Amino acid sequence: MEADYVIVGAGSAGCALAYRLSEAGASVLVVEHGGSDAGPFIQMPGALSYPMNMARYDWGYRAEPEPKLGGRALACPRGKVIGGSSSINGMVYVRGHARDYDHWSASGARGWGHADVLPYFERMENWHDGGHGGDPDWRGTDGPLHVTRGTRENPLHAAFVEAGAQAGYPLTEDYNGRQQEGFGPMEQTVWKGRRWSAANAYLKPALKRDNCDIIRAMVTRVVIEDGRATGVELAGRAPVKARREVILAASSINSPKILMLSGIGPATHLAELGIPVVADRPGVGANLQDHLEVYVQMASSQPITLYRYWNLMGKARVGAQWLFTGKGPGASNQFESCAFIRSRAGVDYPDIQYHFLPIAVRYDGQAAAEGHGFQAHVGPMRSKSRGRVRLRSGAAEDAPVIRFNYMAHDEDWADFRACIRLTREIFGQEAFAPFVSHEIQPGAELQSDAEIDGFIRDHAESAYHPCGTCRMGAASDPRSVVDPEGRVIGVEGLRVADSSIFPRITNGNLNGPSIMVGEKMSDHILGRDPLPRSDKRPWINPDWRTAQR
């Protein structure tokens, strides 16, 4: 069992890497612990709450109790299946803001500014505007990743965008184009009614080539001989050899775990567990970031929400329609309108994201007891709080210790209060007058800072966007784990390419940026010149210094 490149993890970045490296003629072996992504729970977009809560598809990680969130231990689902988290996520497609990547570059990840990464987003996309307009000059149309827009048939989607305009916010035809800021249609990785995961987009076409294969196994550590990675050890079977490189694309939780099990990480932590130190990199497992959000839920005065399907017969009808026609409510993730806004004057680009959903429901599929309703998922984009991932023991089968350290800064609380108050203002606009009955949660009686803080403490949930634990930066920076070409500092023949390398979390959902990392890293690995830099300039609100909207 050997190949030129051994990729650990068949997730968003790993699938893209397998496709591009095998396309170039190299032999590729992907090692994935999870099994098949076949079956309606994954492939039907409307069933998204199921795979995320199924042990068959999820590593089942839970974070440690959060001191600032009343000691709650939040779920941290990560995909354990072909396609990784792109097979269990909400299918929302967001590139991130141009300024996010310029910040990466300024932080030491040279060559990862917006002008550098935009050509890779364009290369990977097969964008379909669905007649809703957009920014075609900024989009790709012949890549493997289909990006579409929902039908937006439910009148609540239009009401949300209209309410944003009535509240004085800009509209945007394409938040993944020139102008992220504003209210408009949301995009999804769905194609012909099916989840268009990284497995469907990249891995399955790659596996049709003779030089790409996949094995199902759990990686216990990277084999390092004389300072060079030569392969990986697997639980219960013979090791795999890499003739050229080992590439970790195992997620922001499992990539640092595998590095530490292999002797790469904070020397004192490894020594405590009796793991011989190969490279002392204190940044391994540090810099953990995530997006936290709450659901602001309103009861609907009209029976027009998706709640009408929230019964056995309704779900059966939706499932049957999707199975036989590929259409209907099951063919969309239902996140079809959204917004990116700034929390206050002096913030130069959006720091709040909205997902709008025409039902009041939780990620675990529990509908609001009050019946018909709708909700906005809202939360700050750039918290200063940082957590970390550490080993629980030296045994690969033990889950790591995940501490997010949410809401550790006073600024986090101020930002979150702003999120809730701005959302209430949007739901109070004339566009929602025909639809709003009353506020389900937080509940109109909660108004003071202390009352809102209590709601946040009890109800804030992860948006499931962990990243940053193998930070990319200058090789001279002791906090860096990988250099700007993804090479692990201090070890030859080993790279990391997934969301763990993000220096700072990007605006919005992370699947798109994670796939982009796989695309761009493939050129670095192959020794190719990067794609030519883009000269496109993003829109920044000209009044950002003096106005919130």
Q: How far apart, in whole angstroms, are the C-alpha atoms of residue 314 and residue 358?
A: 16
Q: How far apart, in whole angstroms, are the C-alpha atoms of residue 10 and residue 7?
A: 8
Query: CA triplet 138, 291, 410: central angle to 5 degrees?
Result: 125
Give the per-residue pLDDT at 53: 85
Q: Tell me, rounded to whole angstroms, the distance of Cα 113 from its chain centroid.
A: 19
> Which of 544, 508, 545 lies closest to 382 in space, CA to CA?
508
Total residues found in the chain within this entry: 549
Q: How far apart, in whole angstroms, are the C-alpha atoms of residue 82 and residue 31?
A: 10
Alpha-carbon distance values, 133 to 65, 137, 149, 177, 339 (Å) = 45, 12, 10, 11, 16
Q: Which residues pair with 260 in a beta bridge?
A: none
Q: How far apart, in whole angstroms, are the C-alpha atoms of residue 521 and residue 18?
A: 11
Burial of residue 450 (CB within 10 Å: 0-12, 13-18, 19+) is: exposed
Active site residue 465: yes
Sorted by sequence, the CB contacts under 8 Å of residue 23 that are 6+ apart come out as 206, 209
Q: How far apart, in whole angstroms, are the C-alpha atoms of residue 31 and residue 258?
A: 13
φ and ψ at 2, to 5 degrees? Answer: -150, 160
Q: How far apart, in whole angstroms, are the C-alpha atoms of residue 181 and residue 350?
A: 6
CB atoms within 10 A of CB 404: 25
Q: How far apart, in whole angstroms, are the C-alpha atoms of residue 98 and residue 282?
A: 29
Q: How far apart, in whole angstroms, are the C-alpha atoms of residue 134 and residue 120?
A: 19
Q: How far apart, in whole angstroms, are the C-alpha atoms of residue 97 and residue 138?
A: 13
Burial of residue 338 (CB within 10 Å: 0-12, 13-18, 19+) is: buried
Catalytically annotated residue among 97, 128, 465, 524: 465
Would you say the pTM of this structure is higher than 0.85? Answer: yes
Q: How far apart, in whole angstroms, are the C-alpha atoms of residue 176 and residue 278?
A: 41
Query: CA triplet 275, 277, 281: central angle to 5 degrees?
Result: 120
> Which of 102, 123, 125, 122 lies closest to 114 in space, CA to CA?
102
Domains of the chain (ranges, CATH numbers): 2-38+198-285+469-524 (3.50.50.60), 112-192+289-462 (3.30.560.10)
Angle between helices 114-124 and 98-106 (to 10 degrees): 130
List the structure tokens of 215: 């094995």
Give the per-residue pLDDT at 370: 78
Helix, strand, or coil (residue 249): coil
DSSP states along 254-271: HHHHHHHHTTEE-HHHHH
CB atoms within 10 A of CB 130: 14
φ and ψ at 136, to 5 degrees? Answer: -55, -30
Residue 514 contacts residue 499 (beta carbons within 8 Å): yes
Can you list the positions of beta strands (E) in 423-489? 436-441, 461-462
Q: Residues forming the annotated binding site?
A: 81, 89-92, 219
Torsion of CA 176, 354, 83, 123, to 10 degrees: 0
Alpha-carbon distance values, 109 to 124, 442, 473, 495 (Å) = 21, 40, 4, 15
Q: What string of pLDDT tens digits covers the 549 residues of the chain?
A: 899 999 999 999 999 999 999 999 999 999 999 999 998 899 999 998 889 889 999 999 999 999 999 999 999 999 999 999 999 999 999 999 999 999 999 999 999 999 999 999 999 999 998 677 799 999 999 999 999 999 999 999 999 999 999 999 999 999 999 999 999 999 999 999 999 999 999 999 999 999 999 999 999 999 999 999 999 999 999 999 999 999 999 999 999 999 999 999 999 999 999 999 999 999 999 999 999 999 999 999 999 999 999 888 999 999 999 999 999 999 999 999 999 999 999 999 999 999 999 999 876 667 676 789 999 999 999 999 999 999 999 999 999 999 999 999 999 999 999 999 999 999 999 999 999 999 999 999 999 999 999 999 999 999 999 999 999 999 999 999 999 999 999 999 999 999 999 999 999 999 999 999 999 999 999 999 999 999 999 999 999 999 999
Q: How far apart, in whole angstroms, are the C-alpha atoms of residue 245 and residue 539?
A: 40
